[in-house]
Structure 1
Amino acid sequence: MRTETGREETRAPDIPGTEDSDDIGRLYRRYRKYAFAIAYRMLGSAADAEDIVQDVFAELSRRMPAMPDHPKSDIARSAVNRSLNLLNSARGRRERYVGDWLPEPVGEAALGPEESAVRGDALSFAYMVMLERLTPAERAVFVLREAFGFGYDEIAGMVGRSESALRQNLSRAKRKLKPAEGETRLAPIQAEEETAKERTELLRRFERAFAAYDIDGVLNLLGDRPVLTADGGGARIRTIVRPMEGRKGVCALLTSRRIFKEARSWAASVESVNGEPQLVYREGGEARMAIMPYTEPDSALIDRIYVVIGPEKLGRI
Structure 2
Amino acid sequence: MSEVEEFEELRPLLFSIAYRILGSVAEAEDAVQETWLRFDGSSTRPESVRAFLSAVVTRVSIDVLRSARVRREEYVGPWFPEPLLSDPYQDPARSVELADSVSMAALLLLERLSPLERAVFVLREVFGFGFDEVAAAVGRAEPACRQLLVRARRHMQAGRPRFETVREEREELASRFFDALREGDVAGLRDLLAADVTMAGDGGGKAPQLAGAVVGAGKVARLLASVFPRMARIDVTFEPREINGQPGAVFRDRDGRVLHTLALDVLDGQIQAIRSVINPDKLAHLGPVADAWAVDREVKQARRQPD
Q: Is the 8 Å Cα contact of residues 200 and 270 (structure 1) preserved in structure 2?
A: no
Deviation at 1:32, TM superposition (A): 1.5
Q: Is the 8 A contact 2:261 2:277 kept in 1?
A: yes
3-state SS of paired residue (1:178): helix
Q: 1:51 to 1:241 in 2, by over 3 A?
A: farther
Q: Pick the aligned partner of 1:280 from 250, 264, 276.
A: 250
CA RMSD of aligned residues (A): 2.3
In structure 2, C-alpha distance between the alignment counterparts of 1:289 and 1:115, rounded to whole Å: 29
Helix, strand or coil at the partner of 2:262: strand
Q: 1:247 to 1:160 in 2, by over 3 A?
A: same
Aligned to 2:213: 243
How far apart, CA to CA, are the structure 1 residues paired with 2:161 and 2:230?
27
Q: Residues 242-281 of structure 1 correspond to what in structure 2 (within 5 A)?
A: 242-256=212-226, 261-262=230-231, 265-281=235-251
| Alignment-derived partner of residue 18 in structure 1 | none
Partner Cα distance (1:143, 1:37) in 2? 10
1:130-141 aligned at under 5 Å gives the runs 130-141=109-120
- Unaligned 5+ segments in structure 1 are 1-21
Mapping of residues 1-317 of structure 1, within 5 Å: 23-64=2-43, 66-108=44-86, 111-116=87-92, 118=94, 119-180=98-159, 184-186=161-163, 191=165, 195-232=166-203, 234-256=204-226, 261-262=230-231, 265-283=235-253, 284-296=255-267, 299-317=268-286
Give the conservation status (yes or no) of the 8 Å contact 2:106–2:161: no
Secondary structure of residue in 2 paired with 1:279: strand
Deviations along 1:226-247, one digit per CA (max 9) or x if unpaired, are: 1112112x11111124322222
Q: Is the 8 A contact 1:203 1:279 kept in 2?
A: no
- CA displacement at 1:165 relative to structure 2: 2.0
SS of match in other structure, 1:306: strand
**Is the CA contact (8 Å cut-off) linking 1:184 and 1:303 kept in structure 2?**
no
Query: How far apart are residue 113 of structure 1 and its match?
Result: 4.9
Q: Output one character per residue of 1:66-116: Cα deviation in whole Å (capped at 9) or x when no partner.
A: 2222110111111111111111111111011001110011123xx335455
Q: 3-state SS of the aligned residue for 2:29?
A: helix
- 1:176 and 1:253 mapped to 2: Cα distance? 33
Matched residues, percent identical?
Answer: 36
Residues 153 and 178 (structure 1 numbering): CA distance in 2 closer, same or farther, change over 3 Å?
A: same
Aligned mates of 2:112, 2:229 — CA distance in 1? 28
Aligned-pair CA distance for 1:261: 4.3
Post-superposition shift, 1:201? 1.6
Deviates more, 1:84-93 or 1:118-127: 118-127
Q: Which amino acid aligns with 1:303?
A: Q
The total of aligned residue pairs comes to 281
Contact 1:37 1:115 in 2 (8 A): no
Aligned to 2:305: none
Gaps of 5+ in 2: 287-307
CA deviations on 1:95-154 (whole Å, 9 max, x unpaired) are 11001110011123xx33545554231122321222112111111111000111011122
CA contact (8 A) 1:291 1:307 kept: yes
Q: 8 Å contact 2:239–2:251 — kept in the other structure? A: yes
Q: Distance in 2 between matches of 1:145 and 1:275?
A: 20
Residues 287 and 179 of structure 1: CA distance in aligned 2, closer, same or farther (over 3 Å): farther
Which string of whole-angstrom CA distances, capped at 9 and with x for unpartnered residues, describes residues 155-205 of structure 1? 11211212222222212222212254xx85246xxx5xxx22221121121
Contact in 2 for aligned 1:227/1:250 (Cα 8 Å): yes
In 1, the alpha carbon distance for the partners of 2:120 and 2:216 equals: 35
